[in-house]
Homo-oligomer: A and B are copies of this chain.
Amino acid sequence: MTELSPNARALFDAKNFVTLSTLNEDGSPQTSVIWAKTDGDDLLFSTVKGRRKYGNLARDPRLSALVIDPANPYKYIEVRGRASLADDPQGELIQELSQKYMGQAYRFDTPEMERVIVRVSPEKVIVHG
């Protein structure tokens, strides 16, 4: 495990979109855009059981998360690590992230959706630019 620098923490805690890479069943990479926040040195994000990124991380927890500095897009930070998954039946994290990014409650989930918290303990933090 490693630490997030203050700069990395600031970029992940601002309203910046994060690009997440996971591994498909055949080992190929899959990329999507997520909301995220930090919790100490960990990154947290929310997903739903049944989504591709959930299935990918449940099978192989290795991931890469990237945030670009909006003040200088040639500067970006990549975090590599492994996901641990925890049920979030009340959707607390998606509500928190929705407040952070949208300033309002999240209203897009249907009752049958099962929210999951993805926690990433960084194994490598790479600063570019």
Report which A residues bind B (CB closer than 8 A): 17, 19, 21-23, 27-33, 62-66, 68, 73-74, 76, 78, 80, 128
Query: What copy number does this chain have within its complex?
Result: 2
Contacts of A73 in B (CB 8 A): 17, 33
In Å, the complex CA distance between A31 and B31 comes to: 9
Interface centre among A19, A63, A68 (most CB of B within 10 A): A19
Looking at the complex, which one of B17, B21, B27, B74 makes contact with A31 (CB distance below 8 Å)? B21
Q: Are B66 and A28 within 8 A (Cβ)? A: no
New A-B contacts (7) at CB < 8 Å, excluding given A23-B28, A30-B80, A32-B66: A17-B73, A28-B62, A28-B80, A29-B62, A31-B66, A31-B78, A32-B128
Q: Are A27 and B28 within 8 A (Cβ)? A: no
Distance (Å) between the CB of A123 and the closest chain B CB? 9
Q: Are B64 and A28 within 8 A (Cβ)? A: yes
Q: Are A30 and B68 within 8 A (Cβ)? A: no
Distance (Å) between the CB of A81 and the closest chain B CB? 9
In Å, the complex CA distance between A121 and B66 comes to: 24
